[in-house]
Amino acid sequence: MGLVGEVASFDPVARAALIAAEMPRGWSGDYRPFDNPSKVYPVQLSIASAVSAGQMVVIRGNLRIGEVTAPIQGNLNAKSDQLDMLLLGDRLGADIEPGSELMGLQGMKLSGLRGPRLTTMGGRLQLAPVAAAAPSRSGQPQSKTIIRGLW
């Protein structure tokens, strides 16, 4: 009698530990509200801690939208790359209401902001990792260029 079924060779717990260790701590991008897509707000995310807990990565840090910085707390699922992040501040900027939540299906790169009420339109947050500057021999940071192949 033969066995039927899949063999899972993917270990989400090990991937969560790897993500927590190697995740870039600085991200930047922009936020566009759905009710006024012509407005673009600059965004910076700084991750203070990323800790693996099973197949989840628990993220804490600060999110700056426009001129306002607010604390965040979120979870990234290492198996599905789903992100749920809560904005914890009372004042969030860009007309974002307290209690809003960021939800993403592509990890940290692309998220949708969902407001706390049905009448809140929300928006789109797009982030990219910020390349860390490596110190030069003179002690001054220098830019680091990332080169990727086409294949």
Residue 70 lies in a domain: yes
Residue 6 lies in a domain: no
Alpha helices in the chain (DSSP H): 12-22
Q: Of 77, 86, 129, which Cα lies nearest the Cα of 106?
A: 77
DSSP codes, 82-141: -EEEEE--S--STTPPTT-EEEESSTTSEEEEE-SSTT---EEEEEEEPPPPEE-TTS-E
Q: Of 111, 119, 52, which Cα lies nearest the Cα of 87?
A: 111
pLDDT at 37: 81
pLDDT at 121: 81
pLDDT at 52: 95
pLDDT at 35: 85
Residue 26 lies in a domain: yes
Q: How many domains does the chain have?
A: 1
CA distances from 23 to 50, 64, 80, 81, 122 (A): 8, 19, 16, 13, 26
Residue 151 lies in a domain: no
Residue 8 lies in a domain: no
Comparison of pLDDT for 109 and 129, the residue scoring more: 129
Range of the domain at 77: 15-130
> Is 151 within 8 Å of 141 (Cβ atoms)?
no
Residue 53 lies in a domain: yes
Band (57; pLDDT cuts 50, 70, 90):
very high
Residue 142 lies in a domain: no
Band (102; pLDDT cuts 50, 70, 90):
confident
69: domain CATH number is 2.40.128.620
Q: Which residue has the tokens 């900027």?
A: 93
Residue 103 lies in a domain: yes
List the single range of 5-9, 15-19, 80-84 with lowest mean pLDDT.
5-9
